[in-house]
């Protein structure tokens, strides 16, 4: 059994607009930004990955593992696998990623098993390390574990190889080249173009089309477009190296985006490795990276503790318009009744990246739902996140009383009355006989 990485802990120190949530994995490409300049050590996650195992059989890789949570509920858990090359003489790098189409929530101390089936694509051959990642939909890392090594035999199918080191971005008519992971800032009206060199490993002429999937913040997040964007194909000669340019989607909403590029053949099958591009659409934006509660139920008079991990774009407090930022929270029970008065507090450029908010409980709160939002002074909502917690062991007097329960109780009551009348009558007849 592979040992999990310890609890992911981040240290933030005077990072300003730089990447403050440095990825615990040295091979990860996702970056985050915020305006916080506080110095702190913050525990981001209590999720760990155990019992990770990878088995390759019949061209299908099966990865099994367990997600284990600690003492607080954790929502918005996405998970997937990374395929890392381990070729001698070359730096270790991710050659493919597969993210499961599922979002989980774990209660305190809950463990759940999962498996991922990954058909081996034709462009993989050699020895690879398999890694399991758990993240939030915004890309915040929660846990990581190695599942093992696999050896993939060479395929007799043709394929293409994108050379990530040759890829670059250009904006509009500018000839300046930007690195794929440079996370350049662009306007929502800009034309963003990517260029890569692609090596053909086909034995015949092929027409290949770039397929671009655009994700909100990271590939663990929501896809921005309803379907991958297919663009005009290029003719690839056998064994030739081609330079291919294509457009990336620039959404209207200011935020960080990650685009995944691969190539498909004329039948629509993906025949190349993926590569990734990060870019930021300029403008004020905010993200609630994580939201947790300290307990799964509360009694009147308790104080609930909500922990919010947040980021703001570097230009949130800059520009021609001065903005204020507010973090607001509300708490209701499983039936939708309020458990606490709404709480609001100001966020500044020096605020902690992780804010602990106490909430005074005004009524019994079973299976609580906490909602957090980040707004400006005029009420514009820049981020919104909800956490639904299911109480593991609610008090008996709080359990719902259904119609079926009522009918059963009435039946038992009538039966007891009839039995009592029967025995009373029988007892009276006995005395008459005497």
Task: Find the CATH number of the domain harbouring 40.
Answer: 2.70.50.60
Q: Could you tell me if 99 and 231 lie in one domain?
A: no
Cβ neighbours of 321 (radius 10 Å): 9
Range of the domain at 291: 286-396
Q: Could you tell me if 277 and 341 lie in one domain?
A: no
Q: Could you tell me if 34 and 133 lie in one domain?
A: yes
**Sign of the alpha-carbon torsion through 395, 398, 400, 406:** positive
Q: Could you tell me if 314 and 181 lie in one domain?
A: no
Q: What is the CATH number of the domain that holds 323?
A: 2.60.40.1930
Q: Domain tally for the chain?
A: 4
Q: How far apart are CA 306 and CA 298, in angstroms?
A: 13
Q: Could you tell me if 4 and 134 lie in one domain?
A: yes
Q: Could you tell me if 150 and 167 lie in one domain?
A: no
Q: Could you tell me if 313 and 298 lie in one domain?
A: yes
Lookup: tokens for 171: 């904006």
Residue 377: predicted pLDDT? 79
* Contact present, 92 and 74 (Cβ < 8 Å): no
Q: What is the CATH number of the domain that holds 189?
A: 2.60.40.10
Q: Could you tell me if 184 and 166 lie in one domain?
A: yes
Partner residues linked to 216 by β-bridges: 257
User: pTM for the full model?
Assistant: 0.74
Residue 322: predicted pLDDT? 53
* Contact present, 300 and 282 (Cβ < 8 Å): no
Which of helix, strand or coil describes residue 426? Answer: helix
Q: How far apart are CA 68 and CA 134, in angstroms?
A: 11
Residue 33: predicted pLDDT? 36
pLDDT in single tens digits along all 434 residues of the chain? 433 333 333 333 222 222 323 334 333 333 333 333 333 444 556 789 999 999 999 999 999 999 999 878 888 899 999 999 987 777 788 899 999 999 998 888 899 999 999 999 999 999 999 999 999 998 889 999 999 999 999 888 999 999 999 999 999 999 999 999 998 999 999 999 999 999 999 999 999 999 999 999 899 998 997 666 667 788 999 999 999 999 999 999 899 999 999 999 989 899 999 999 999 998 888 899 899 998 889 999 999 999 999 988 877 776 555 567 899 999 999 999 999 999 999 988 788 889 999 999 999 999 999 999 999 878 889 999 998 888 877 665 544 445 556 666 666 777 777 777 666 666 655 554 44
Residue 2: predicted pLDDT? 39
**Sign of the alpha-carbon torsion through 418, 423, 429, 432:** negative
Q: Could you tell me if 16 and 131 lie in one domain?
A: yes
């Amino acid at each position: 059994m592979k040992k999990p990485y310890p609890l992911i802990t981040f240290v933030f120190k005077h990072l300003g607009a730089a990447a403050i949530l440095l990825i615990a994995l040295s091979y990860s490409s996702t970056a985050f930004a915020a305006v916080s300049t506080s110095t702190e050590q913050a525990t981001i996650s209590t999720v760990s990955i155990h019992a990770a195992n990878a088995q390759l059989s019949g061209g299908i890789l099966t990865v099994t593992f367990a997600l284990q949570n600690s003492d607080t509920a954790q929502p918005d858990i996405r998970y997937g696998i990374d395929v890392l090359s381990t070729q001698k003489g070359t730096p270790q790098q991710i050659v493919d990623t597969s993210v499961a189409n599922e979002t989980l929530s774990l209660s305190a101390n809950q463990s759940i098993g999962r498996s991922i089936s990954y058909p081996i694509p034709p462009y993989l051959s050699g020895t690879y390390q398999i890694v399991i990642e758990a993240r939030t939909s915004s890309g915040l890392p929660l846990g990581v574990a190695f599942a093992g090594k696999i050896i993939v035999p060479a395929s007799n199918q043709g394929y293409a190889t994108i050379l990530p080191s040759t890829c670059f971005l250009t904006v509009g008519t500018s000839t300046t080249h930007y690195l794929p992971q440079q996370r350049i800032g662009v306007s929502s009206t800009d034309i963003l173009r990517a260029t890569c060199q692609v090596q053909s490993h086909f034995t015949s002429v092929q027409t290949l089309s770039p397929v671009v999937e655009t994700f909100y913040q990271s590939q663990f997040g929501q896809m921005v477009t309803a379907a991958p964007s297919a663009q005009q194909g290029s003719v690839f000669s056998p064994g030739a190296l081609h330079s291919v340019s294509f457009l990336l989607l620039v959404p209207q909403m200011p935020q960080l985006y990650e685009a995944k590029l691969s190539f498909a053949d004329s039948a629509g099958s993906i025949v190349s490795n993926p590569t990734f591009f990060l870019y930021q659409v300029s403008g004020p934006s905010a993200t609630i990276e994580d939201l947790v509660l300290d307990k799964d139920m509360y009694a009147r008079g308790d104080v609930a503790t909500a922990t919010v991990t947040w980021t703001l774009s570097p230009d949130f407090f800059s520009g021609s318009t001065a903005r204020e930022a507010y973090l607001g929270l509300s708490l209701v029970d499983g039936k939708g009744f309020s458990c606490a008065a709404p709480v609001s507090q100001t966020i500044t450029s020096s605020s902690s990246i992780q804010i602990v908010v106490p909430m005074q409980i005004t009524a019994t709160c079973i299976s609580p739902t906490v909602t957090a939002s980040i707004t400006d002074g005029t009420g514009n909502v820049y981020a919104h996140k909800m956490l639904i917690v299911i109480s593991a062991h609610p008090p008996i007097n709080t359990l719902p009383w259904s119609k079926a329960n009522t009918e059963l109780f009435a039946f038992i009551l009538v039966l007891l009355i009839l039995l009592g009348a029967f025995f009373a009558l029988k007892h009276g007849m006995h005395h008459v006989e005497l």
